[in-house]
Amino acid sequence: MGTPVDDLSRLAQQYTGTRESYREESPQHIVAVDAFEIAETPLTVASYAEFVSAGGVAPLSWHIQQAGNPLLPVVNITLPMAIAYTEWRSVCEGRVYRLPTEAEWECAARGTDGRQFPWGDVWEVHHAASRETGLPLQPVGSYQSGMSPWGVLDLAGTVWEWTTSIDSPYPYIADDGRNDLAAAGRRVIRGGCYVNPISYARCACRFRMQPSMTNAFLGVRLVRKPAAQEALRASGLDLVVGGAR
């Protein structure tokens, strides 16, 4: 997870800025995560519309989003709205849905080999939605060639995505309070978006937002426990599984 300290100057030369501009991504370190399932794409307008119909809070510009392609990522979602959606969907489906931690998101994006982008170390303009493509926001799943090692799409560009993690320094320690939803502080968002340059689409790039804030380039992606793991815990047993899926 993260970027080696020795790479900070190279990033500054390649993408502009200074060495310190990328300091929050360092040091690079190994992080273990329990097994989890992550949505193949960001949450869509169509899926969020079901929540609104059931009484959920509509985001800003909702009338514009509804009038467009229902397979576009839903945007203008605050962190409390995203959490409310996961709670509603958990009740509807009988599965526990939530938002990813920062570590889970990065694992889903880059696998285990420390790659720069979900597909490898070299930027490919047709693999993701960024400023360089010059296109408006596209429906989810439009960039199949940008798939991550785990088969996840739209992790580079498209829309920024909320994580549960507070904007705390590295190394990442999952149980140090940074994933406490009741704690105050800016939360990390990941992935870049279709109007940002490629430097923001790197798997290790970190940005942050106040939970109550949002914009037209910020969406959400869901995670949940694997079904087998949930079933074992419900029966009073437990299963220790490493890695991501």
Q: What percent of the chain has pLDDT over 90?
A: 90
The predicted-structure confidence for 133-192, as pLDDT tens digits, reads as follows: 889 999 999 999 999 999 999 999 999 999 999 999 999 999 999 999 999 999 999 999
What ranges make up the beta strands (E) of the chain? 37-38, 97-98, 160-166, 187-190, 207-209, 218-219, 223-224
The predicted-structure confidence for 29-55, as pLDDT tens digits, reads as follows: 999 999 999 999 999 999 999 999 999
**Cis peptide leading into 197, omega within 30 of 0?**
no
Virtual torsion, Cα 100, 102, 105, 107, nearest 10 deg: -130
Q: What pLDDT score does 69 carry? A: 98
The predicted-structure confidence for 175-219, as pLDDT tens digits, reads as follows: 999 999 999 999 999 999 999 999 999 999 999 999 999 999 999
Task: Give 227's pLDDT tier (boundaries 50, 70, 90).
Answer: confident
Residue 67: pLDDT over 50: yes
Residue 242: pLDDT over 70: no
Residue 63: pLDDT over 70: yes
Q: What pLDDT score does 236 carry? A: 57
Report the distance separating Cα 62 and Cα 5, nearest Å: 42
| Assigned token pair, 133 | 């493509």
The predicted-structure confidence for 9-23, as pLDDT tens digits, reads as follows: 999 999 988 999 999
Q: What pLDDT score does 16 carry? A: 87
Question: CATH number of the domain at 38-225, out of 3.20.20.140, 3.30.1300.10, 3.40.50.12780, 3.90.1580.10?
Answer: 3.90.1580.10
DSSP 129: B
- Note the pTM of the prediction, 2 decimals: 0.92
